[in-house]
Amino acid sequence: MFVYFILLIYNVLYNNTFLQMSLIKRFTGYSNTPALWKSNSIQELNQFNIPLNKNDEPKPSFTNVHLRLGKLVEQFVFLQLEAQQSIQMIAKNLQIIQDKITIGELDCVFKYLQDYIHLEIVYKFYLYDDEFSENELDNWIGPNRKDSLRFKLDKLKNKQLPLLDHATTKEILNDLSLCHQDISSKVLFKAQLFIPKNCAGMVFEKINNECVIGYYMGMAEFKKRTNCEFYMPNKLDWLIEPHKGVEWLSLGDFMPCLALEISQSRSPLCWIKTPDGKLEKIFVVFWR
């Protein structure tokens, strides 16, 4: 009984330590992801740059391991905002409810120095489909082709940010002793971008080229990587920068896992370790 109790404690401590390490890696991956655009605005959407002090970077602690990726990123943003002495958080995930129906949510409202900010948080993975159109912004799509940068920009501009001016929002803000006219809306829009090999070296005019971190390819091209090793991270670990401390598989052992994803019209993110030890982050897509 005593040995069982010791093993139970060990397993709990080990699991919590592992989860904490994973959380830190995810936070680091989020934190190191650049904003999708810098000083210039896109569609009149202005980025808010968190005034980070790298010498006092906050450390995430174990919370809910079942959060979706978008919600996990929100928690990381809140952590960074609340760590800054120049920022006073007022509301997080502020539900706007009218006649018992939720019509939207403000990700957060805070005071930065003397300014009041309504911030919408976005973290995306986009692939550049050079065959889609001649418009650069229209060509950034989600891995499964169910999302796009254009769709998200339009949604932010026409639905999410204007929610600040809704009559119900004004009433809720008034209860917080705030006037909506004193609040400016901004976005924190980060992204990891992937391009086809034929676009290597291409310079994009509209977005921050530092966000381009890897390639994507179809199955035919992927199968040529015969001398490499592979790993498929879970969705939350898409944030993480590839590292060698995982269980790598040969192409033969990896293919059944990949084929299952492709057969279900999913484009998984994969890590590749080349024979010389170089690590790559790619998407294998079902549609190319």
3-class SS of residue 245: coil
As given in the structure block, the two tokens for residue 163 are: 């929610």
Which residues lie across from 191 on neighbouring strands?
A: 124
Question: Is residue 125 in a domain?
Answer: yes
Based on the fold, state whether residues 258 and 203 are members of the same structural domain: no
Question: Is residue 22 in a domain?
Answer: no
Based on the fold, state whether residues 47 and 179 are members of the same structural domain: yes
Lowest mean pLDDT among 59-73, 221-235, 259-273: 59-73
Q: How far apart are CA 119 and CA 106, in angstroms?
A: 7
Based on the fold, state whether residues 149 and 258 are members of the same structural domain: no
Using the 3D structure, point to which of 197, 214, 231 is the last residue of a domain. 214
Question: Is residue 127 in a domain?
Answer: yes
The pLDDT tens digits for 210-240 are 999 999 999 999 999 999 999 999 999 999 9
Percent of the chain with pLDDT over 90: 80
Q: Which residue has the tokens 């920068």?
A: 241
Model's pTM, two decimal places? 0.90
Question: Is residue 11 in a domain?
Answer: no
Based on the fold, state whether residues 193 and 208 are members of the same structural domain: yes
Domain span at residue 232 reads 218-284
Bridge pairing between strands 183-195 and 115-128: parallel
* Over residues 177-200, mean pLDDT: 95
* Burial track 134-157 (b if 16+ CB lie within 10 A, e otherwise): eeebebbbbbbeeebbbebbeebb
Based on the fold, state whether residues 156 and 273 are members of the same structural domain: no
Using the 3D structure, point to which of 183, 214, 245 is the last residue of a domain. 214
Please report the pLDDT score of residue 56 as a whole number.
65
Based on the fold, state whether residues 206 and 229 are members of the same structural domain: no
Based on the fold, state whether residues 162 and 93 are members of the same structural domain: yes
Question: Is residue 185 in a domain?
Answer: yes
* Over residues 137-164, mean pLDDT: 96
Do 206 and 52 contact (CB within 8 A), yes or no? no
Number of domains making up the chain? 2
Sign of CA dihedral 58, 61, 64, 67: positive
Question: Is residue 13 in a domain?
Answer: no
Based on the fold, state whether residues 207 and 266 are members of the same structural domain: no
Question: Is residue 72 in a domain?
Answer: no
Based on the fold, state whether residues 102 and 242 are members of the same structural domain: no
Please report the pLDDT score of residue 66 as a whole number.
74
Using the 3D structure, point to which of 214, 246, 272 is the last residue of a domain. 214
Based on the fold, state whether residues 200 and 236 are members of the same structural domain: no
Based on the fold, state whether residues 46 and 188 are members of the same structural domain: yes
- In sequence order, what DSSP letters do the residues of 90-131 get, joined into one string? EEEEEEEEETTEEEEEEEEEEEETTEEEEEEEEEEEEEE-TT
Based on the fold, state whether residues 97 and 135 are members of the same structural domain: yes
The pLDDT tens digits for 49-62 are 998 876 667 878 75
Question: Is residue 188 in a domain?
Answer: yes
